[in-house]
Structure 1
C-alpha cells in the first residue's frame, strides 16, 4: 500500500477566532493529499480534466482529534482505501509537527464525463491508472 505525504505550513488565514485551524480547511488539505498521491503514482489530475474527465467528491468525512494552530506544520498522509475500477475511496491522517494525530478522514470519488456527468470506467478508459490504483490500494 502506497502512503503519500504532503507537508503544509498552517497559515494565519486558515485559523478561526480561537486560533485553531478552521474545520473546512482540512477538506482542502485532503485535496492536496489526493493530488500528491496521484503525482506519486505518476499521473496528473489536470491531464484528466484536459481529457474532459472530472473526479467529484461523492462523500467525505473527517474526525477531529487534536487542533492545529497557526505556524505549525501539518503532515497529510493519504492512501487509496478502496478502489473497484469505477469508484475510489482515499483515506487520510493529518498529523501536527510533533507527529500527533490531529484528524482522520476519507473521501469517496468517481470519474465522470465533464459534459454529461456520466461515470466512466477507469479500467477501460485509463488502464494505466487502473493498474497503478490496484497495486497501490490498501490490501485487505
Structure 2
C-alpha cells in the first residue's frame, strides 16, 4: 500500500484562541496530503482539469483525538482506502510532532466533467490512473 507522508507546520491563522488547530483546517491538510499522494503516484489535478475533469468531494469525515497546536509540525499520512473505478476514498491520519494520533478521517471523490458535472469512469477515461490506484492499494 502506498502511503504519502507530508509535514505541515501549524500557522497562527490556523488556530483558535487556545492555540489549537481549528477543526476545519484539518480538511485543508487532508487536501494537501491527497494532492501530494496523487503527485507521488505520478499524476496531478492540473492536468485533469485541463482535460475538463474535476474531482469534487462527495463525502468527508474526521474524528478528533489529540489537538495540534500553534508552532508544532504535524504529519499527514494519506492512502487510498477504497477505489472502484468511479469513486475513490482517501484515508488520512494526522499525527502530532511527538507522534500522537491527532485526527483520522476520510474523503470520497468522483470525477466529473466540468461542462455538465456528470460523473465519469476513471477506468475508462484515465486507464493509467485506474491501474495506478489499484496498484497503490495492493503494494
- For this structure pair, what is the TM-score category when the shorter chain's length is used for normalisation? over 0.9
Q: What is the aligned partner in structure 1 of residue 132 from structure 2?
A: 132
**Alignment size in residue pairs:** 139
Separation in 2, partners of 1:138, 1:20 = 36
Separation in 1, partners of 2:24, 2:138 = 26
Q: Which runs of 5+ in 2 are unaligned?
A: none
Q: What is the aligned partner in structure 2 of residue 14 from structure 1?
A: 14
Separation in 1, partners of 2:16, 2:117 = 35
Q: What is the aligned partner in structure 1 of residue 101 from structure 2?
A: 101
* 2:134 alignment partner, SS class: helix
Separation in 2, partners of 1:88, 1:68 = 27
Q: What is the aligned partner in structure 1 of residue 61 from structure 2?
A: 61
Instruction: Please report the RMSD computed on the Cα atoms of aligned residues, expressed in angstroms.
Output: 1.0
Q: What is the aligned partner in structure 2 of residue 39 from structure 1?
A: 39
Contact 1:82 1:138 in 2 (8 A): no
Once superposed, which parts of structure 1, at least 4 consecutive aligned residues long, lie more than 2 Å away?
Answer: none
- TM-score normalised over the length of structure 2: 0.98
Separation in 1, partners of 2:137, 2:16 = 35
* 2:116 alignment partner, SS class: coil
Q: What is the aligned partner in structure 2 of residue 52 from structure 1?
A: 52
Report the Cα offset of residue 138 of structure 1: 5.8
* 2:36 alignment partner, SS class: helix
Q: Which runs of 5+ in 1 are unaligned?
A: none
* 1:34 alignment partner, SS class: helix
Separation in 2, partners of 1:13, 1:119 = 36
CA spacing shift, 1:86–1:73, aligned 2, 3 Å: same
* 1:123 alignment partner, SS class: helix
User: Counterparts of 1:69-108 in structure 2 under 5 Å?
Assistant: 69-108=69-108
Contact 1:80 1:138 in 2 (8 A): no
Report the Cα offset of residue 19 of structure 1: 1.1
Report the Cα offset of residue 15 of structure 1: 0.2
